[in-house]
Amino acid sequence: MAFSICLHGCTVPRAAKQASLTLLYKFPSSLQHNYCITRTFASASVSIAANKELRSPDLVALEYAGLNLTDKISQELGHVRIRQHVNPLSSSFSVPAPVPDWSEVFRDPTLPLMVDIGSGSGRFLIWLAKQNPDSQNYLGLEIRAKLVKRVEFWVQELALSNIHFIVANATISFKQLVSTYPGPLMLVSILCPDPHFKKRHHKRRVVQKPFVDSILTSLMPGGKVFIQSDVLEVAIDMRKQFDLESGSVQHVDTVDPSVLCDDEGWLLNNPMGIRTEREIHAELEGAKIYWRLYQKRVLCKLDEM
């Protein structure tokens, strides 16, 4: 993919129209400009009218155009109306998810595993799975069943054998699921979790000490935890939980000096190679995204004595 940004209302040559899109993108009002963005795709088409003011769904479609996901699923499932806020402490979400037969859901269940907590629509994880079809497996845990049903359709349509989604309350099911997985747990991502703003609802937040303990216990030595939020309060809350476990994990900039952080210790760049849908929406609204990437310590024999 390639971007070109023009301040002068440029147009795309007629011969290039099939390979690129010219879109009028309205940046946050503080910039006081409309920009003409030309985005070129290697082998994908997105049906968005030229000179249209982009909204979040349009930007998501552009970001994930390479997946070529069809809209047929909406016809088969009906309108997928998703409740944005779910109470994970509800009794209806207290039953652990059944453990699958890993040899049935993955072609090679011994490959290193990435688990995405609250996988949402699943586009982010599908994109990663397509990039690494033979080297990694991907597991998405999502509490909203309709989202899982839709993404299962996409996985089958793309014939991916290294990705699986489970309807699960991660805080209840994570430990049991990953403890039965034959391969190593390489990466856990917690990306823009529900902020549960009200103080009395903070106990609903996914990153609590018992869950952090489950992650760190299950993670392979050298494995990583990636956290992200567009809400500073939530980002700080998650960061504190993992910073308190400095005996088990350390932030990657202490391991690799080439990793760049700002003065507050937040990563300067998203290390995953693609943005989540929430990230796209938040940036469109002018919000800052906060990233931290932790690595589990590798203990030498002297440390274990």
Catalytic residue IDs: 194
For 175-181, the CB contacts below 8 A with 24+ separation are 175/214, 175/217, 175/218, 176/96, 176/99, 177/97, 177/99, 177/139, 177/141, 178/113, 178/115, 178/218, 179/218, 180/99, 180/102, 181/102, 181/109, 181/113, 181/139
Query: Which helix (H) or strand (E) covers residue 3, if one does?
Result: strand 2-6
Q: Which residues contact 10 (CB under 8 A, 6 or more apart)?
A: 22, 36, 38
CA torsion sign for 69, 70, 76, 80 is positive
Tell me the chain's radius of gyration from C-alpha atoms.
Answer: 21
Q: Are 46 and 62 in contact (CB under 8 A)?
A: yes
How far, in Å, CA of 295 to CA of 72, rounded? Answer: 40
Instruction: Give the up-direction half-sphere exposure of residue 169: CA atoms within 13 A in the CB hemisphere.
Output: 15
With contact defined as beta carbons under 8 Å apart, do 109 and 100 qualify? Answer: no
